Amino acid sequence: MSNLLLADLAASGVKQIPSGYIRPITDRPNLSDVQISHDSIPLIDLHGLTGPSRSLVIKQISQACENDGFFQVKNHGISEEMIGKIMNIARQFFKLPESERLKTYSDDPTKTTRLSTSFNVNSEKISSWRDFLRLHCYPLEDYMHEWPCNPPSFRRDVAEYCTSIRGLVLRLLEAISESLGLERDYIDKKIGKHGQHMVLSNDRYKSVLHRAVVNSEKERISIPTFYCPSQDTVIGPPEEMVDDDHPAVYRDFTYGEYYEKFWNRGLVKECCLDLFKASND
């Protein structure tokens, strides 16, 4: 298992990027094709959600989701101390001896706790320059026992962070529900533990292409949080957002169908959701 992980490959003294990580020129980002915008990424103050300015904040979220597909938040309730602690524990984990990290290694995308590399090494031809640790977090009592026990404070620190970030996610889901003209708790009800349908905006809200740049001088660490439904949850637009002028853009499908296609298709530019458009039936 020598150099199974990218971090260990990089630390081995390799002088050039192995061919298995080099993408064809046609598949590489071309900065000359990027439209430069002087508009800043929307920054939304969540403090207003708890007062008379709530409707204004909801409008700002709606505009950001429609026009940008991305926004930043401040006054979100996650302390700088907690953010610093979770970033520190991530660095500590990836600097553990290889033998310790490999205790959680798996190439199986269905495992709820796993360390792996690239995206899906079983299906891709070109690997991505990254290692990742993926954890299921909710309910904590169902998954904490699977998490790494080293560094010693890993489970405690990650559990505290997961609890706090879940609270933030639920606040954002409420705001997004309202921004779509739905009841405040609509999304949480539909994708909660016993929910039957997951809401889509029927293409009213569009996501942006996720792009990141790495370099040879400085490490890059990110800690994304995904709020995912159960495998049998049916995904489709709510009735309130479908009419003669706005027909359903996507067919109904289960999250399990989406999950399987997502992990097996690799990191490609096209959105995985496009595979489920009604026009593809």
* AA identity, residue 44: I
* AA identity, residue 252: D
Per DSSP, 135 falls in state: E
CA-to-CA distance for 236 and 50, rounded, in angstroms? 30
- pLDDT in the model for residue 3: 56
Domains of the chain in start order, with CATH, are: 6-29+77-280 (2.60.120.330), 41-76 (no CATH)
- pLDDT in the model for residue 100: 93
Between β-strands 43-45 and 197-198, what pairing exists: parallel, antiparallel or unpaired? unpaired
- pLDDT in the model for residue 226: 87
CA-to-CA distance for 161 and 148, rounded, in angstroms? 15
Count Cβ atoms within 10 A of the Cβ of residue 230 and give its class: 0-12 exposed, 13-18 middle, 19 or more buried.
Answer: middle
- pLDDT in the model for residue 171: 93
Dihedral pair phi/psi, residue 20, rounded to 5°: -70, -10
Query: 47: helix, coil or strand?
Result: helix
Query: CA geometry: angle at 162 spanning 190 and 57, to 5°?
Result: 60
* AA identity, residue 209: L
Pinpoint the alpha helices (H) of 21-127: 54-67, 80-94, 98-101
**How many other β-carbons are positioned within 10 Å of the β-carbon of residue 181?**
12
Q: Please say whether the beta carbons of 96 and 150 come within 8 A.
A: yes
CA-to-CA distance for 72 and 199, rounded, in angstroms? 22
Per DSSP, 40 falls in state: P
> Residue 21 has which token pair?
């990580």
Q: Please say whether the beta carbons of 89 and 154 come within 8 A.
A: yes
CA-to-CA distance for 21 and 59, rounded, in angstroms? 43
**How many other β-carbons are positioned within 10 Å of the β-carbon of residue 58?**
21
pTM over 0.85: no
CA-to-CA distance for 235 and 200, rounded, in angstroms? 7
- pLDDT in the model for residue 193: 56
Looking at the chain, how many residues does it have? 281
CB-based contacts of 63: which residues, under 8 Å, 6+ apart?
A: 42
- pLDDT in the model for residue 60: 96
- pLDDT in the model for residue 1: 41
Spell out the per-residue pLDDT of the chain, length 281, in tens.
Answer: 445 787 877 777 778 888 888 888 877 777 676 666 667 889 999 999 998 999 999 999 999 998 888 899 999 999 999 999 999 999 999 999 989 999 999 988 889 999 988 777 777 777 778 889 999 999 999 999 999 999 999 999 999 999 999 999 999 999 999 998 888 888 877 776 555 455 578 788 877 777 776 777 788 899 999 888 888 888 888 888 888 888 888 888 888 888 888 777 665 556 777 777 777 55
CA-to-CA distance for 6 and 220, rounded, in angstroms? 13
